[in-house]
Structures are given as structure tokens and as C-alpha cells.
């Protein structure tokens, strides 16, 4: 039997390298609206929800500015930008191995639901996941990742003793903690946690194969 029969995954920086596509669409959004970002559009901004990132990049909370930038981003990313997304090496084999071992897999991501589903379909992964949750899956929109994980656990009737959350950022670990879930940090992504950022009770793995070993109790 697997150590964890229910595996909840973050998406960006954990399963997929979405940085090139996301950064290109942020640049398109600023170019199309004539606004200038106040900080660099680089891989360090990838991970938080869209509106939060746009406020940070634009240096303003002005609703008209943020709405225009969001529209520009979505027009770029949802039409063709998402196609530049790549799976990290070894992730496809890891997902197949976990599924074959009887694990039920789910997604809990800050990414909007539409591009999440487009990317899963593009990579041929839709069949791997029993549930795909995003902040905008519900109305009103869920406030944060911790609330989203809580809703997923509740909706799917998942026993916390059977579950684990896998991500690449401190927010992911904190969201797991808020739901009394163990957390495994994927250190191959752009949100990789440094040793000093790891809580003592979190675990880190360096490859998708090592992650599968940890989840299946073969590490």
C-alpha cells in the first residue's frame, strides 16, 4: 500500500515549467496596454495568483489598470501562450507510477481553472487527476490556497491521514500546515525552497522519481 493514497499537487514549478509561457504573456499584457512594470518580469514572480502578481508588477491597485492588464494577459496566455508550457523531466513517468500503484491524484493550484485544464489536456494528463481545483473554481472566488485545499478535502471526502500535498514554495507548505497535511517540497522547480526556508517537519525531494519513492513508501 502507498504511504499516501491521496496526493494533492501544486502545478506551476512542481509538475510543469510554465515560466516561459507566463512571463511572455505578462510582457504581452504590459506592451498591449502601454503600462510599464515597476519590477523585472522574471521567474521570481511566477507562482502567486494573477491579480496579485499584476498589482506587484504594476505597482498599483488601481482597478482599471489591473483589469486591463489581466485582460491582456488572458488574451495572450489562454489563446496560445499556454502551449509553451513543458513538463519537468520525469514527471509524466512519476504520475503514471503513482496511478498504477493505486494513488488518487488531484491538483490544487493558484493558476486559473481555464488554462490549468488547457495545459493538462495539452500534456495528455487530464486522465491522471480525479479533481482539479483552482481559486476561481467557485463563486465567490476562494481566498487562498489553504482554503482551496480545505474545500478539496471536504468535497472529495479525503481523510487527512491518507493525504499529502506536494509543492515548490513556502506558501504551499504553509497551506498544507493549515490543513494538517504533510508537505513534500519539489526542489527541481523555479520556486525551489532553500534549506533555511524549509520548516523542520517538511520534506524535500530532488527528483520526480524520488518523490514517487517517498509517496509509495519506498524511499
Closest among 53, 18, 28 to 38, alpha carbons compared: 53
pLDDT at 127: 97
> Of all helices (H) and strands (E), which one includes residue 132?
strand 129-134
Residues β-bridged to residue 204 = 185
Confidence tier at 192 by pLDDT (50, 70, 90): low
Contacts of residue 121, Cβ cutoff 8 Å, sequence gap at least 6: none
Written as nine digits, the cell of 178 is 493549515
Confidence tier at 43 by pLDDT (50, 70, 90): confident
Q: Tens of pLDDT along 70-80?
A: 999 999 999 99
Residues 58 and 35 sit within 8 Å (Cβ to Cβ): yes
| Cα 144 to the center of its chain, rounded Å | 12
> Of all helices (H) and strands (E), which one includes residue 55?
helix 50-58
Q: Decide if pLDDT at 158 tops 90.
A: yes
Residues 204 and 173 sit within 8 Å (Cβ to Cβ): no
Task: Please confirm, yes or no, whether 17 is among the known catalytic residues.
Answer: no
Looking at per-residue pLDDT, the higher value among 47 and 145 belongs to 145
Closest among 206, 204, 215, 219 to 99, alpha carbons compared: 215
Return d(Cα 101, Cα 99) in angstroms, integer.
5
Return d(Cα 209, Cα 138) in angstroms, integer.
33
Stretch 100-115: mean pLDDT, rounded? 96
Amino acid at each position: 500500500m502507498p504511504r499516501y493514497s491521496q496526493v494533492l499537487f501544486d502545478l506551476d514549478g512542481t509538475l510543469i515549467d510554465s515560466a516561459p509561457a507566463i512571463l511572455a504573456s505578462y510582457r504581452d499584457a504590459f506592451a498591449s496596454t502601454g503600462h510599464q512594470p515597476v519590477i523585472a518580469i522574471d521567474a521570481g514572480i511566477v507562482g502567486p495568483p494573477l491579480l496579485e502578481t499584476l498589482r506587484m508588477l504594476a505597482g498599483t491597485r488601481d482597478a482599471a489598470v489591473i483589469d486591463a492588464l489581466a485582460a491582456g494577459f488572458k488574451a495572450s496566455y489562454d489563446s496560445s501562450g499556454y502551449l509553451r508550457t513543458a513538463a519537468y523531466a520525469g514527471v509524466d513517468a512519476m504520475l503514471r507510477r503513482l496511478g498504477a500503484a493505486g494513488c488518487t491524484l488531484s491538483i490544487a493550484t493558484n493558476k486559473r481553472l481555464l488554462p490549468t485544464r488547457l495545459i493538462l489536456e495539452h500534456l495528455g494528463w487530464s486522465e491522471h487527476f480525479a479533481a482539479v481545483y483552482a481559486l476561481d473554481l467557485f463563486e465567490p472566488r476562494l481566498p487562498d490556497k489553504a482554503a482551496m485545499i480545505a474545500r478539496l478535502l471536504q468535497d472529495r471526502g479525503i481523510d487527512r491521514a491518507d493525504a499529502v500535498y506536494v509543492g515548490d514554495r513556502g506558501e504551499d507548505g504553509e497551506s498544507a500546515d493549515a490543513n494538517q497535511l504533510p508537505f513534500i517540497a519539489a526542489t527541481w522547480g523555479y520556486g525551489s525552497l532553500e534549506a533555511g526556508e524549509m520548516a523542520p517537519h517538511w520534506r524535500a525531494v530532488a527528483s520526480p522519481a524520488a518523490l514517487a519513492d517517498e509517496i509509495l513508501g519506498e524511499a
